[in-house]
Structure 1
């Protein structure tokens, strides 16, 4: 098979897996496993997998006080806060809302790059920030005005998730430039696992796992193996051959697939107002991301779901 076809197939599969996650996770929580219990299952499993991979294959360690402290900060923002807010928010809000609000991650990356790395932000990018944030606020307000409190709270948690992930992408960039990507991911998952366990310990122990139907076990395995492990490995391989603009196209495809899947399985309804807010968010992110050169090592980690 042609290498370019393989690259497109890998990136499309990653987008499809991430897009499916919004609806599949709703099948499991909260009826079978609480959102924080699901986080423990996913993060601890990933920590074990990437820890073994790092030990057996890469055999590299993060050294120095500054790099170790930065890796802890990455574990807090990229795994702990990110996952707690994402699954907590997805548990409350609709899949389409979550998928659309996650798209603003590049906006938060730009904001934190300007604050922490002193990157210059021009008028076009400022316009993009305003447009994307306005679209997100209108989407949240539509949930609130509809009288669905859970949706509104869930939307806010998804925004916090995207914000935390944006900070993580800025913090992790120097580590990705210095160490093997698997070494960094192994460390941040380990840090994240230690933090999330106290939050979801009771939720992880309370379910009667023996009573779970095969479909729920399949959904849990999908989130562990597919969403966490397979997507990372496929992204890592594809980014060796794909340019950042191609990767960006497939990142934009994720919420589109999430919407189609959610509507197809009857998990959500895509209304005209949501379509308008989506256009505002996509337009704002486009203005922010246009001509922005993302390095492969940063893009490897996006998005987090």
Structure 2
């Protein structure tokens, strides 16, 4: 098989895993409280990351003590903070709404970079951001923009998107020297520790986890292996092979896969969700300078 085909297959698989994460979290939201669900997911993910580390067997960069001052807050923010808000959100919003809101994260990261790091953006990028945010506004208001009624779950997902974007900007700004896999394993381990401690303190995970059906544990295992580890590993391989710019376009498939899983499960999207999906994807394409993909191609006529 063509190596480039394999790389693109891995990238698409990553977006499938991430997109189906929203469906899985929504399916188990009624069975488990947020901290317990997140704690089991990332306890399993840590084990998988450690197995990957043992399997690789290669020496890694030696971390410095000052790296802990970066890894700890980023682990708490990006793993604990994001996943608590994520699981709370999926208790009261739809999987597709959550995926569409999360599709804003690359654009929110850019806005945070402008505010916090003095990054610059051009007019086309501003137009893309406005279009994408308009699409999300259409989704979270159910098409009734003038009423400005937003569900609590959508607000939690907006918070999750903001937290993840802060985590992404922080990782780029303060941890560029740490190899990605090493960074992921440490932040996931730190975040998992905080999630487990918070669940034991605020919920009753040991009792609750014994009472839920095996299907719930299966969904969390899927989210841990596929949505937390394999998606990340496959994505890194793809980015390394073809570059972040090309891979970033494929990230737009995440809400598309959430929609496809919904359809397979018999859940039809609302008109506002479909319109919002088109606007968000178009906004991201405009932002990334891919406006030509949205325009019809003209055939050249030779005389």
Distance 1:258 1:88, change over 3 A: same
Verify: 1:86 aligned to 2:86, yes or no. Answer: yes
Shift of 1:115: 1.5
**What is the DSSP-based 3-state SS (H/G/I as helix, E as strand, rest coil) of the residue aligned with 1:68?**
helix
Q: Distance in 1 between matches of 2:205 and 2:212?
A: 15
What TM-score do the two structures reach when normalised by structure 2?
0.84
Q: Distance in 2 between matches of 1:164 and 1:118?
A: 19
1:230-281 Cα deviation digits (max 9, x unpaired) = 1122222222212324312321111111101112203x43122222222222
Kept in 1, the 8 Å contact 2:138–2:144? The answer is no
Distance 1:157 1:210, change over 3 A: closer
Shift of 1:26: 2.4
Verify: 1:110 aligned to 2:110, yes or no. Answer: yes
How many residues end up aligned between the 2 structures?
284
Q: Distance in 1 between matches of 2:154 and 2:276?
A: 14
Structure 2 counterparts to residues 255-274 of structure 1, below 5 A: 255-266=255-266, 268-274=267-273
Q: Distance in 1 between matches of 2:209 and 2:172?
A: 41
Show the counterpart of 1:154: 153
Shift of 1:58: 3.9
Structure 2 counterparts to residues 1-305 of structure 1, below 5 A: 1-31=1-31, 33-51=32-50, 53=52, 57-65=58-66, 67-142=67-142, 152-174=151-173, 177-201=176-200, 202-207=203-208, 209=210, 212-213=213-214, 215-266=215-266, 268-290=267-289
Shift of 1:177: 3.0
Kept in 2, the 8 Å contact 1:11–1:238? The answer is yes
Structure 2 unaligned residues grouped into runs of 5+? 291-303
Q: Distance in 2 between matches of 1:263 and 1:68?
A: 44
**What is the DSSP-based 3-state SS (H/G/I as helix, E as strand, rest coil) of the residue aligned with 1:178?**
coil
How big is the alpha-carbon RMSD for the aligned residues of Structure 1 and Structure 2?
Answer: 2.6
Shift of 1:105: 0.5
**What is the DSSP-based 3-state SS (H/G/I as helix, E as strand, rest coil) of the residue aligned with 1:240?**
helix
Q: Distance in 1 between matches of 2:257 and 2:137?
A: 22
Distance 1:223 1:248, change over 3 A: same
Structure 1 unaligned residues grouped into runs of 5+? 292-305
What TM-score do the two structures reach when normalised by structure 1?
0.83
Kept in 2, the 8 Å contact 1:54–1:182? The answer is no
Shift of 1:156: 1.0
Kept in 1, the 8 Å contact 2:48–2:225? The answer is no
Q: Distance in 1 between matches of 2:144 and 2:37?
A: 27
1:166-198 Cα deviation digits (max 9, x unpaired) = 111111114553122222112211221233224
